[in-house]
Structure 1
Amino acid sequence: MEFLGQPFGIQNTSEGWLVTWNDAVLHGPKGAPDESVSFTVLLPRRADLTIAEVQTYALKRAAELLQHMIQAKTTPGQ
């Protein structure tokens, strides 16, 4: 998957940075637009993070949150 790039927003909070991608387009194997996603994740505040690191961390964190929600819905008693 390619990096999502811009547009994105960063909000500075006491816990870290809230990074929001609105309607970020994911491209399929042939390069055509496949899907559009919007998500917000909390990133640790570090001055030396590159944009590539922010994007990678945000995507991984969004996937973790989605997996957590799927597991909660498929686990009996939750």
Structure 2
Amino acid sequence: MIGKETVKRRLRGVVVGNLADKTARIRIERQMQHPLYKKVIRRHNSVQAHDAENTCRLGDTVVIEEIPRVSKTKSWRVIQVTGGEKS
């Protein structure tokens, strides 16, 4: 397996909390189809991401990347802050 890189997952979400030092709480929304009724519904997850420079503000749209676990609850890192709320 030499020379083979693993593909890291990247997701887009909105910052919903940034009170802790170097940590941002990100809400990730996704759409899925209901298995029986076939209606499109929205689901969301919240994850904590490592933000080393404390650049995230509430309402910012960010891109996060999966990394090896930093702490008990953090296994994501903020890659890019696009600013502004998600439309």
TM-score in terms of structure 1 length: 0.39
The higher radius of gyration belongs to 2
Q: TM-score, normalised by structure 2?
A: 0.36
Larger helix percent = 1
Q: Relative contact order: is structure 1 or structure 2 higher (C-alpha 8 Å, sep ≥ 6)?
A: 2
Q: Which has the higher strand share?
A: 2
